[in-house]
Amino acid sequence: MMHILPLLTIKSDLLQARGKLKEVLRVLEESEELLEYYKDKLSEKKYYEIKSTIMGKLGKLMFATAESENDLKRAQEYVKNLIICTIKADNRQGVTGVRVNLATIQMMLAKNQDDFKKANEKVERINLEDCVKIFEEARDKRREAFAKGNVAIYCLALKNDKDAIKFAEDSIEIVKNGPSDYAKAEYELTLAYIKMTSRLSDFKKGELSDEVHELIRDAYEKFEKRRVTSQFVARAVEVVAKYLQNKINYDELLKELDELAKELEIKGGAGIRSWTIKQTIDAIKKKGDIDEDLLRLEGVKLLLTF
């Protein structure tokens, strides 16, 4: 038993790297069943440590492959279970990272500002601001940047633009000298989107244009260099920016976004990113335009798919 479960989780990692996501789900569910079968032979702490690993992988997989709200709700349940398991495994530090992941899913499911507010409610006495403080004290720079990036998005949705910009800039500052170009690209794109949205009227007039487009382009080039599907999110943000500045019309906007979603699926990116682009298209069609509320409450979810 003690040898089989680690082998199964390693197998799931290998399958995921090959893009065989349905097989990954089967292996993880098999691991969960096996764990329950041998539960009485394990100490409580060891049981919850192993279950935490399985729940964490299931939550990440369901989020990455989500193509509906039901998929996201399923991912949310895995993450909620992960929080319980992590606590029972006596890993309080681990709870903090999981809380940020839960907030990501809660914001993806948000329909209005009140829903976004709920994403910052305390869970096991921890909210997003607490996560930032805990990671700062632990000097965990990678997770601090991730938490601040999420807080920036949360603040934008609630029209707290000054803090949104500050947290996004903090995230960039934290990772700028680090090895991860992916993280740099993620926060550059977040900052570009926040500046574009928070000063929408000015952006439409051409102000901030060079700064915003440069951030988007830098992010895209970093993603493209790594050959990750996040490049399609950067391109989607760029399409929205072009429309806001009247560089393309409404029909061209919808056409370009639709083509991105289709291309993403062809290149193996079906899941949360292609689905979120489609959701953005649906929101635009419903409203007949892109206004500030749509950018804050719907379009912003593109930034949560990393």
pLDDT digits (tens, 9 = 90+) for 88-108: 988 877 899 999 999 999 999
Mean pLDDT of 39-65: 91
Predicted pLDDT of residue 15: 55
Residue 198 lies in a domain: yes
Among 18-22, 64-68, 153-157, top mean pLDDT goes to 153-157
Residue 41 lies in a domain: no
Output the six-digit token pair for 281: 């298209």
Mean pLDDT of the chain: 92
Residue 144 CB: number of other CB atoms within 10 A? Answer: 22
Quote the domain boundaries for residue 243.
180-306
Residue 216 lies in a domain: yes
Predicted pLDDT of residue 24: 78
- What residues pair up with 123 in beta bridges, in sequence order? 126
Higher pLDDT, 1 or 103: 103
Residue 150 lies in a domain: no
Residue-wise pLDDT tens digits, 234-279: 999 999 999 999 999 999 999 999 999 999 988 766 799 999 999 9
Mean pLDDT of 72-81: 97
Residue 67 lies in a domain: no
Residue 72 lies in a domain: no
Among 6-20, 23-37, 126-140, top mean pLDDT goes to 126-140
First and final C-alpha spacing in the chain = 34
- What amino acid is encoded at 158 in this protein? L
Q: What are phi and psi of 123, to 5 degrees?
A: -125, 125
Residue 299 lies in a domain: yes
Q: Is the pLDDT of residue 22 over 80?
A: no
Closest CA to 201 of 301, 287, 291: 291
Number of domains in the chain: 1
Q: What percentage of the chain exceeds 70 in pLDDT?
A: 92
Cα gap 95→117, rounded to integer Å? 20
Predicted pLDDT of residue 14: 57
Q: Is the pLDDT of residue 18 over 80?
A: no
Residue 74 lies in a domain: no
Tell me if 120 sits within 8 A of 135, measured CB to CB: no
Predicted pLDDT of residue 21: 66
Lowest mean pLDDT among 83-87, 108-112, 113-117, 264-268: 264-268
Predicted pLDDT of residue 6: 62
